[in-house]
């Protein structure tokens, strides 16, 4: 595209959001307007109007990219708006400019204006006439600039609007306002301009108030019932100059607004009233919140005065799961909300505090789930372009993209290797080799950088690693200090990514690279096995994460894999099916169990509700995924670590297992051109359904168990075929089907309930994961902190009756609860 516009700024420095305008007449003698196109971007965020009419419903345009090398521009068809102004004396193109990511605060160190102080706007309007001629209207130093009613704006801190200063006359012809001055061109390289790849950010929904209450200290509190990202749209009338202050937060603590998780982010909007009927919508900021504290409201605050406006990147929803377990359904919905809330231009770790950065590890863990839930080709394609630009300029993959960290990011497993694993995950989802080709230079550069630092044994044994970040057993002040050796995690992930790299090279016909990376993958795998795996299949550290990675990344032979699965099942049972994994292990642990014959244990892990567990946050009222397993402690207080986001999608990665194993939808070939339909009922579920919109169309699976009869309904999209493994079929039937809808109905094999009693040996009880989970809950209730191991050698000769004899003064309630646990616990499916 040929650029005639310039990046312009106001001559006068305004504290808030400056306004820019130009007035023009359409040229005569060329006939009617055939087409009018506006190209728009900014160093900041920009909104545009033509004669007072908004050109788009986009917000926060142009979003956040690696501004040093990429500035995206939006293109709008404004033909109807230009035609509508043709009968008027002139046309006004007006722009409002906010700080956004370019000029506002970023990160937790308190810094701002990382990309410079020169906020500016760039617009090029091309009007095409019926005779083929064109007229250009562009930003240059002929434009005028002036103050707006926005006195302050920042993504972290909020927006201040003075309704007394509003005057929409600036958007219309003939305006000559006080305090207006000129503009000047900024130094700007138009080679950085790129069209939007990812979708724009839009308003998605407006949620009503669920409750208005008064806090113990007398504050007015608003509850919208859902943790969300966006802002509150306000309608209010009061005396001129009245200040209404609204502060946002995700949680209440001791009945007051819980602002500690925000750290230094103020998340506060301020409104000065005009004296008439005012409406406020702070579109130059966004907040992560469920609750708000309102101060200074004139008169009675009514539900209808406030609406929570939800914003996110305009992605198309593609994945759904529903089961007979409402807690599981809520957890899945929480993951959807956390993804939605953290995809505002770029995929971020959290949307509320003084951070909101594109952390690579969070996205790498969640990537396959993200690709199931939404069509992320464009939004993550754009983000990968940012990653490649940062990597090419800096020589490493940053831990956050775009990168505003003050120090370099050394190669790190799960974080930096997103350069390989995310393109690979997107290829598996969409089957588009172009994704791999576009990312190939970045992928190979990363793998070669790690290859260069391997030790003489082929291990990634040096350098900083995040390890199994936020393992619940890690010290509160050291979330990287989990149970699993960090370099074991690093070498396991390197085995995975080198294999992905080798397969990518082969797919793209890069034969020399394919041979090289295959040899490297073999070397890394052999090094891992030599260092961390015994001949029998025990994995060093004896942690759930170590076993899960070794199993899921193909690092064991078949006998070792079977033994490792047994060991993993014992570990999760010993923990009472509470969670003992962090970012590295959590996406893999349920797969590692179910793929080694321990489906019941996987379901027990999924459905546990004690802290820490997948469902504990749900029992505490969570409506999004938490950063820590105990971001809110059982007593209702906020975890005091200072790192307690309540909207962090990483641990929602288990939803990938829900889609593939519970729902039963798996890609048997990249892009779902072949499918495996293999739901695996368990965990007491009586039904489940899953839908996924693939590049070929929608796949749908529903299974239901009623009175010993199972019904399975499957819909396969055109141009594909599927192997269907009928769940709980008495003959383990498999059938290959073509596109269309197919149904099966058959008797499911019954499962007789084992008869347990207080005299049953502990090792027998421990072999039943559902019964054992019930027992561990009883012991946690009555004897907290005292471990019980049903797999210890002495467990074969120990019964609950005998165990009680070793507990002096045991309360009668303990016996009653133990008897109930062994006689009423559900039988695993």
Do 383 and 408 fall within a single domain? yes
Strands 8-10 vs 181-185: parallel, antiparallel or unpaired: antiparallel
Do 140 and 232 fall within a single domain? no
In the numeric block, the tokens 């290797």 are attached to: 417
| CA gap 124, 138 in Å, rounded | 4
Q: Which tokens hold the place of 267?
A: 């998340």
Alpha-carbon torsion, ordered 749, 755, 761, 767, to 10 deg: 20
Predicted local distance difference test score (pLDDT) of residue 111: 79
Do 596 and 618 fall within a single domain? yes
Is 367 among the domain residues?
A: yes
Predicted local distance difference test score (pLDDT) of residue 64: 97
Predicted local distance difference test score (pLDDT) of residue 751: 54
Based on the structure, what is the number of domains in the chain? 5
The angle, 0 to 180 degrees and rounded to 10, between the axes of the packed helices 486-507 and 544-552 is 20
How remote is the C-alpha of 508 from its chain's centroid?
A: 30
Q: What's the CATH code of the domain at 578?
A: 1.50.10.10
Do 724 and 697 fall within a single domain? yes
For the entire predicted model, the pTM comes to 0.95
Is 754 among the domain residues?
A: no
Do 581 and 722 fall within a single domain? no
Is 651 among the domain residues?
A: yes
Predicted local distance difference test score (pLDDT) of residue 533: 98
Predicted local distance difference test score (pLDDT) of residue 829: 40
Do 159 and 187 fall within a single domain? yes
Do 643 and 705 fall within a single domain? no
Question: ∠401-652-661 over CA atoms, to 5°?
Answer: 125
Do 359 and 293 fall within a single domain? no
> Could you say which of 137, 160, 195 is where a domain stops?
195
Is 2 among the domain residues?
A: no
Do 153 and 113 fall within a single domain? yes
Do 798 and 697 fall within a single domain? no
Percentage of residues in the chain with pLDDT exceeding 70? 99
Q: What's the CATH code of the domain at 264?
A: 2.60.120.260
Read off φ and ψ for residue 50, nearest 5 degrees. -120, 115
Q: What's the CATH code of the domain at 734?
A: 2.60.420.10
Domain that holds residue 215: 201-313
Average pLDDT along the chain, 829 residues, taken 10 residues at a time: 96 92 94 96 98 97 97 98 87 97 92 87 97 97 97 98 97 90 97 94 98 98 98 98 98 97 98 98 98 98 98 98 98 98 97 98 98 98 98 97 95 98 98 98 98 97 97 96 97 98 98 98 98 97 97 97 97 94 98 97 96 98 98 96 96 98 98 98 96 98 96 98 97 97 92 78 83 84 78 78 82 87 61
Is 643 among the domain residues?
A: yes
Is 752 among the domain residues?
A: no
Residue 574 contacts residue 787 (beta carbons within 8 Å): yes
Is 654 among the domain residues?
A: yes
> Could you say which of 641, 662, 683 is where a domain stops?
662
> Could you say which of 297, 313, 329 is where a domain stops?
313
**Which residues belong to the active site?**
355, 627
Closest CA to 276 of 227, 312, 240: 240
Do 287 and 264 fall within a single domain? yes
> What is the overall mean pLDDT for the chain?
95
Do 709 and 651 fall within a single domain? no
Is 1 among the domain residues?
A: no
In the numeric block, the tokens 């303990």 are attached to: 814
CA distances from 316 to 331, 359, 374 (A): 21, 23, 6
Question: ∠669-674-675 over CA atoms, to 5°?
Answer: 100
Kindly give, in sequence order, each residue whose CB lies less than 8 Å from that of residue 176, ignoring residues fewer than 6 positions away: none
């Amino acid at each position: 595209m040929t650029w005639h516009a310039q990046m312009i700024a106001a001559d006068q420095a305004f504290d808030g959001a400056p306004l820019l305008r130009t007035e023009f007449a359409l040229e005569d003698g060329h006939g009617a307007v055939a087409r009018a196109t506006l190209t728009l971007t900014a160093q900041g965020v920009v909104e545009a109007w033509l004669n007072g009419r908004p050109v788009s419903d986009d917000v926060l345009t142009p979003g956040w990219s690696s501004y040093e090398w990429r500035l995206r521009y939006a293109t709008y068809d404004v033909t109807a708006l230009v035609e509508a102004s043709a009968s008027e004396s002139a046309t006004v193109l007006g722009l409002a400019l906010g700080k956004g990511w370019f000029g506002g605060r970023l990160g937790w160190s308190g810094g701002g204006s990382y990309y410079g102080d020169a906020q500016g706007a760039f617009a090029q309007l091309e009007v095409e006439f019926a005779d083929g001629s064109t007229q250009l209207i562009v930003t240059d130093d002929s434009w005028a600039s002036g103050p707006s009613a926005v006195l302050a704006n920042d993504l972290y801190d909020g927006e201040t609007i003075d309704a007394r200063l509003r005057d929409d006359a600036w958007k219309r012809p003939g305006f000559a306002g006080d305090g207006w001055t000129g503009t000047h061109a900024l130094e700007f390289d138009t080679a950085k301009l790129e069209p939007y790849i990812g979708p724009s950010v839009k308003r998605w929904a407006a949620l009503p108030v669920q409750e208005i209450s008064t806090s113990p200290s007398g504050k007015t509190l608003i509850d919208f019932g859902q943790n969300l990202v966006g802002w509150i749209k306000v309608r209010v009338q009061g005396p001129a100059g009245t200040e209404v202050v609204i502060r946002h937060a995700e949680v209440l603590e001791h009945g007051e607004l819980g602002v500690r998780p925000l750290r230094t982010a103020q998340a506060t909007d301020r409104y000065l009233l005009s004296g008439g009927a005012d409406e406020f919508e702070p579109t130059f900021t966004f907040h992560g919140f469920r609750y708000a504290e309102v101060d200074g409201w004139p008169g009675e605050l009514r539900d209808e005065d406030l609406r929570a406006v939800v914003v996110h990147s305009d992605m198309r929803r593609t994945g759904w799961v529903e089961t007979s377990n409402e807690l599981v359904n809520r957890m899945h919905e929480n993951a959807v909300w956390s993804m939605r809330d953290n995809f505002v231009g770029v995929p971020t770790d959290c949307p509320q505090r003084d951070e909101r950065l594109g952390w690579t590890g969070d996205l790498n863990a969640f990537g396959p789930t993200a690709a199931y839930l939404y069509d992320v080709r464009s939004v993550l394609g754009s983000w990968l372009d940012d990653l490649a630009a940062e990597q090419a300029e800096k020589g490493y993959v940053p831990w956050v993209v775009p990168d505003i960290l003050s120090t370099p990011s050394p190669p790190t497993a799960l974080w930096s290797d997103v350069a390989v694993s995310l393109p690979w995950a997107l290829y598996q989802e969409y089957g588009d080799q172009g994704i791999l080709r576009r990312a190939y230079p970045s992928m190979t550069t990363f793998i070669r950088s790690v290859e260069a630092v391997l030790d003489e044994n082929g291990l990634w044994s040096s350098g900083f690693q995040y390890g199994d970040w936020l393992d619940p057993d890690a010290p509160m002040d050291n979330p990287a200090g989990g149970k699993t050796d960090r370099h074991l995690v690093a070498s396991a992930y390197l085995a995975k990514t080198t294999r992905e790299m080798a397969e990518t090279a082969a797919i793209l016909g890069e034969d020399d690279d394919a041979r090289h990376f295959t040899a490297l993958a073999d070397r890394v795998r052999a090094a891992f096995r030599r260092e961390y795996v015994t001949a029998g299949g025990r994995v060093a550290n004896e942690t759930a994460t170590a076993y899960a990675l070794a199993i899921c990344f193909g690092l064991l032979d078949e006998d070792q894999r079977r033994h490792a699965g047994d060991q993993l099942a014992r570990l999760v049972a010993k923990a009472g099916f509470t969670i003992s994994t962090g970012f590295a292990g959590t996406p893999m642990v349920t797969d590692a169990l179910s793929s080694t014959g321990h489906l019941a244990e996987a379901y027990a892990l999924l459905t546990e509700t004690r802290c820490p567990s997948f469902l504990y946050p749900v029992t505490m009222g969570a409506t999004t995924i938490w950063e820590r397993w105990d971001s809110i402690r059982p007593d209702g207080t906020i975890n005091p670590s200072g790192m307690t986001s309540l909207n962090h999608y990483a641990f929602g990665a288990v939803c990938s297992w829900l889609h593939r194993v519970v729902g039963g939808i798996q890609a048997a070939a990249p892009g779902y051109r072949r499918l495996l339909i293999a739901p695996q009922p368990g965990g007491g579920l009586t039904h489940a359904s899953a839908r996924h919109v693939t590049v070929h169309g929608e796949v749908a699976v529903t299974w239901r168990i009623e009175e010993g009869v199972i019904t399975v309904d499957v819909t396969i999209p055109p141009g594909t075929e599927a192997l269907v493994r009928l769940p709980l079929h008495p003959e383990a039937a498999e059938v290959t089907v073509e596109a269309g809808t197919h149904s099966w109905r058959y008797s499911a094999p019954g499962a007789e309930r084992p008869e347990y009693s207080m005299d049953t040996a502990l090792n027998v009880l421990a072999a039943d994961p559902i019964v054992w989970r019930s027992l561990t809950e009883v012991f946690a209730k009555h004897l907290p902190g005292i471990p019980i191991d049903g797999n210890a050698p002495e467990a074969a000769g120990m019964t609950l009756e005998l165990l009680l004899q070793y507990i002096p003064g045991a309360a009668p309630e303990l016996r009653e609860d133990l008897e109930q646990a062994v006689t009423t616990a559900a039988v695993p499916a």
